[in-house]
Amino acid sequence: MAIGRRTDIPEDVRLSFMRSLYGHRTTLWFGLIAHLVGCGVIFLKTRDVAYLWFCVGFCVVTSGRLFDMSRFDRARTEAMTHEQLNHWEGRYLIGASFVCLLLGLVCFYSTYVARDSFAELTSLAVLMGSVASIVGRNYPSAAAVLLMSISAIVPVLLGFFLGGTRFQMVAGLLLVPYFLTNIQMANGLRRFLFEAIMGKHSLSIVAGRFDAALNNMPQGLIMFDGDKKISVINDRAIEMLRIAEGTRIQGRSIETVLRYCSLQGVFPHNDFRNVSARMDEILSGLRKRDIFQFANNRYVECIGNQREDGGPVLILDDVTQRVEAEAQIQHMARYDSLTGLPNRSYFDTMVRSLKAQNPKVPYSGLIVIDINHFKHVNDTLGHHAGDELLRLFAVRLGELDSKCFVVSRFGGDEFVVYVAKLDHHDDIEAIVLHILDTVTGIYKLEAAQILVHVNMGVAICEAGKCNVSDMHIRADLALYEAKSNEHKKWAIFEEAMDVKYRNRQRLKGELRKAITDCALTVVYQPIVSAHSLRVVACEALSRWEHPELGAISPAEYIPLAEEMGIISEITRFMLRQACLDCAQWGGEVGVSVNLSAIDLANTNITLMIADALSNAKLPPHLLEVEVTESAIINDGYNTALVLQSLKNEGINIALDDFGTGYSSLSYLNSLPLTKVKVDRSFVRNIVEDRRSLMLLRGVTHLSHELGLGVTVEGVETEEQLALVRIAAGADLIQGYLMGKPMPVASVRDYIGRPIISSSGSVLPHHSST
Ligand code: C2E
Ligand code: CA
Ligand code: CA
């Protein structure tokens, strides 16, 4: 079988065979010498010139073969195709067969023509010697072996048959099995070598592919032998560990490599022990995987895989992106994005861990901080400024020592501080004052500078007695207390607050019931003209007579109704009742109804008022609504629209309690008001304090300048009345002196006649109220 027919044999393997055929020129020379000596000796013995011609023949054929060989040497063998290889194999075959044919012919000539026994013996010996080289030299080409064998044996047999004796014929036939054995041997040798070469060849292909896969994988790979010495390391691992090119890694231990890496700065030098110990755990199978932080903030995950035979395999994966993304997600889940403070859920975790660190502290505390009028900042300066304030506020709070405090923003403007360690109950005061001092003051925002005040609620807890959420509820109650008392900036929770809270909750339920049962009533307080001292209007005030607790002040239940979102039901009732009652007062006396900030945020208020007026057939000019500054602050733009539409209907609009809130003069100018009601706090001291009187007069004048009427509230004495009328120049006066809030049935007594004599004393028929 010719190697050229084996198309499954790759060209490079065939080429190596072809090279072996065309190589070994020395055997060719030895062969030629043997042939020439053989023929030469026979010539000397027989003097037969034919043998000299045979010598010439051998020389010519060998020259031809040598020439062919040198041509093969020059040919571009690297990229030879099967066709080219077939061509060269064919040429070789011709040369080799010619030599064999010549050897056969020498034997034939000696047996059949010369018939010399020396010539026969010598030529046969030379042939047999040469035949041995057929196998040794030409085994790669089955065709060569066969053709050469046939070329040699046929003339020999022919010689024996034509010219030899019977014995010679038999001896000649013995050559046949010899040649067949030779062919078999050559085939066996070739097959064996082919298989070995092909095995090696496919092994090198697999090895090449394995190499390519290994060096192209995105992960680093280090394979260890049974002694935990590195046997394989891919390019990526070399790159990740910053191993210099040409450094011998195979056969080294991981410790040596890590030491090298620490010197190269792959990870901090003092991390060496830690990294080495953790890596050992992976290699010995105690731990499956671990993430190492490398220099330049890279994170590499090492995964160890144990092999049954041999050492472990270590995979190095650069997981920086994953770690960073996880860290970011974790940060987002734990921290408030605006202030960077821990959020509510992470606050709990931090508190727990701080508690665990301080197991023996006697007390801990929780402080809830509320920024006063934060909503006002948001509404007037915009949400951007609000956010900026919260950030700056958080920065100030962040100055607290994180070993003792956990600071968090729970949302909105609610900040919470956990105080991990209090030796005594009273220690909290210094902490609260310190926080108060830290956060109170001027904040420089991009758009403005603002002065910030806060309220704080504090809860203190004996170690192990309550949890954070209980403390929070208590601190909230304390905060509520602090906020509802204008002289208090902070309060510590006391049980009484809890009782108060429960009572409030109870009262809320009962208020709801009172409203649905129409248990609220209306009383009227007269408002008199400063000029005529006659009643010109009455303010409608609601009353609630609790079956057990007696009369409850509207100052208490109105804020509750606002909190509960049911204030508009009270307003609706008050408007309807006040309009119905006023319609009975002869058209000379108006009625004034208080609106809540929540009413004004609701555009239905205009419909509610129109409904009350039409229900009572009351002309709009007899109705006045009283609004407070807080309503305007909440949503100035919307409030102005609602008020304007009411004013357009002919309804009067009074700004109530002027002087208690911001008392911003700009409201007086920009809102569609008809009247200002100056709070009774302006009146309280006017008799004794000249400056108070001046202030009241200033407000009255200013309002008059803006075209607004002025009602002064809270006039209780005749001296106050005189000053309010004469010195302050008020238009209308309201107060206990003129009449306390009274049931509708009593109002009639006041209508149409002066309540007070022109000298300022209360007339007798009114003094009963
Ligand atoms: P306000 O609108 O400023 O009502 C005047 C309050 O001052 C009334 O208290 C009245 O009794 C009291 N007052 C009047 N003259 C004098 C005086 O000479 N001296 C003193 N010390 N007090 C005087 P009241 O009725 O307890 O109402 C308290 C607050 O409750 C009201 O203040 C008002 O803001 C609110 N309110 C009352 N009824 C209603 C209502 O129907 N709707 C709304 N939204 N609020 C109401
Ligand atoms: Ca009022
Ligand atoms: Ca008032």
Residue 768, domain member (yes or no): no
User: Which residues have CB under 8 Å from 497's CB, separation 6+?
Assistant: 474, 477, 478, 480, 481, 491
Q: Whose CA is nearest to atom 17 of ligand 1?
A: 714
Quote the pLDDT of residue 767: 47
* pLDDT in the model for residue 318: 93
Q: What's at 696, amino acid-wise?
A: L
Q: Is 762 contained in some domain? A: no
Question: Could you tell me if residue 498 is inside a domain?
Answer: no
Closest CA to 139 of 187, 184, 181: 187
DSSP secondary structure string for all residues of 125-171: HHHHHHHHHHHHHHTT-HHHHHHHHHHHHHHHHHHHHHHS-HHHHHH
Q: What's the pLDDT tens digit per position in 520-557? A: 999 999 999 999 999 999 999 999 999 999 999 999 99
- Tell me what pLDDT residue 711 has: 97
Judge if 542 and 625 occupy the same domain.
yes
Which residue, of 147, 180, 208, is where some domain finishes?
208
Please report which ligand is nearest the Cα atom of 556.
1
Task: Indicate whether 357 belongs to any domain.
Answer: yes
- Residue 660 CA to ligand 3 center (angstroms) comes to 10
Let me know if residue 765 belongs to a domain.
Answer: no
End position of a domain, from candidates 325, 346, 366: 325
Q: Which one, of 466, 459, 463, lies nearest residue 497 by Cα?
A: 459
- Which residue has the CA at smallest separation from atom 43 of ligand 1? 594
| Rounded distance from Cα 558 to ligand 3 centre (Å) | 14
For the chain, what percent of residues have pLDDT higher than 70? 97
What percent of the chain clears pLDDT 90, i.e. is strictly above it?
55
Q: Which residues have a beta carbon within 5 Å of ligand 3, which is an ion?
A: 656-657
What CATH number has the domain bearing residue 244?
Answer: 3.30.450.20
DSSP per position, 616-647: HT--GGGEEEEE-HHHHHHTHHHHHHHHHHHH
**What spacing in Å lies between the alpha carbon of 169 and ligand 1's midpoint?**
152
Query: CB of 739 closer than 6 A to ligand 1?
Result: no
What mean pLDDT is predicted for residues 607-628?
96
Residues 365 and 428: beta-carbon distance below 8 Å: yes
Q: Point out the ligand nearest to the CA of residue 600.
A: 1
Segment 663-682 shows an average pLDDT of 85
Max CA separation in the chain (angstroms): 186
Nearest CA to ligand 1 atom 8: 541
| 105 in any annotated domain | yes
Alpha carbon of 661 to ligand 3 centroid (Å): 12
Protein residue closest via CA to atom 2 of ligand 1: 594
Q: Please say if the pLDDT value at position 765 is more than 70.
A: no
Q: Are residues 263 and 195 in the same domain?
A: no
* pLDDT surpasses 50 at 4: no
- Backbone phi, then psi, for 654, in 5-degree steps? -110, 140
For residue 363, what is the domain's CATH number? Answer: 3.30.70.270
Q: Confirm if 569 and 557 have CB atoms less than 8 A apart.
A: no
Nearest CA to ligand 1 atom 7: 714
pLDDT at position 447 over 90: no
Q: Please tell me whether residues 54 and 203 are part of one structural domain.
A: yes
Q: In terms of domains, do 173 and 308 share one?
A: no
* Residue nearest atom 23 of ligand 1, based on CA coordinates: 714
Which ligand is closest in space to the CA of residue 592?
2
Q: In this structure, are residues 682 and 695 in contact, taking their beta carbons and an 8 Å threshold?
A: yes
For ligand 2, a single-atom ion, which residues have Cβ within 5 Å? 594, 626, 656
Q: Is residue 292 part of a domain?
A: yes
Find the CATH number of the domain harbouring 609: 3.20.20.450
Give tens-digit pLDDT for 353-391. 888 887 788 999 999 999 998 988 888 888 999 999 999
Statement to judge: residues 535 and 679 lie in one domain: yes
In a domain, 766, yes or no: no
Indicate the number of domains in the chain: 4
Sequence-distant (6+) residues with CB within 8 A of 186 are: 134, 135, 138, 139, 142, 145
The answer on 391 and 519 residing in a single domain is: no
Centroid of ligand 1 to alpha carbon of 539 (angstroms): 9
On whether both 242 and 363 belong to a single domain, the answer is: no
pLDDT of the residue at 2: 46
- Is the beta carbon of 736 within 6 A of some atom in ligand 1? yes
Cα separation, 247 vs 328, whole angstroms? 38
Confidence (pTM): 0.58
Do 46 and 113 reside in the same domain of the chain? Answer: yes
Q: Is 679 in the pocket of ligand 1 (CB under 6 A)?
A: no
Domain end: 493, 527, 556, which one? 493
Higher pLDDT, 193 or 283: 283
Q: What are the C-alpha distances in Å from 393 to residues 379, 438, 674?
A: 18, 9, 40
590 lines ligand 1 (CB under 6 A): no
Q: What is the pLDDT of residues 677-716, one digit of tens each?
A: 999 999 999 999 999 999 999 999 999 999 999 999 999 9
d(Cα 682, Cα 692) in Å, to the nearest integer? Answer: 7
pLDDT at 5 over 60: no
Q: Judge if 251 and 190 occupy the same domain.
A: no
Quick one: pLDDT band at residue 8, thresholds 50, 70, 90? low
Residues 119-168 have pLDDT tens digits of: 989 998 988 888 777 777 777 778 888 888 888 889 988 888 887 778 87
Residue 84 — pLDDT band, cuts 50, 70, 90? Answer: confident
Contact 716, 735 (CB under 8 A): yes
Q: Is 719 in the pocket of ligand 1 (CB under 6 A)?
A: no
What single-letter amino acid sits at 124?
A: L
| Ligand 1 pocket, mutate which of 539, 541, 562 (most atoms under 8 A from CB) | 541
Q: Looking at the structure, do residues 234 and 340 belong to the same domain, yes or no? A: no
Strands (E), 225-297: 230-233, 289-294
Domain extent for 75: 3-208
Amino acid 569: pLDDT:
95
Whether residue 254 is found in the same domain as residue 125: no
If you take atom 10 of ligand 1, which residue's CA is the nearest one?
A: 741
Say if residue 118's pLDDT is above 50: yes
597 CA to centre of ligand 3 in angstroms: 14
Q: Are residues 285 and 414 in the same domain?
A: no
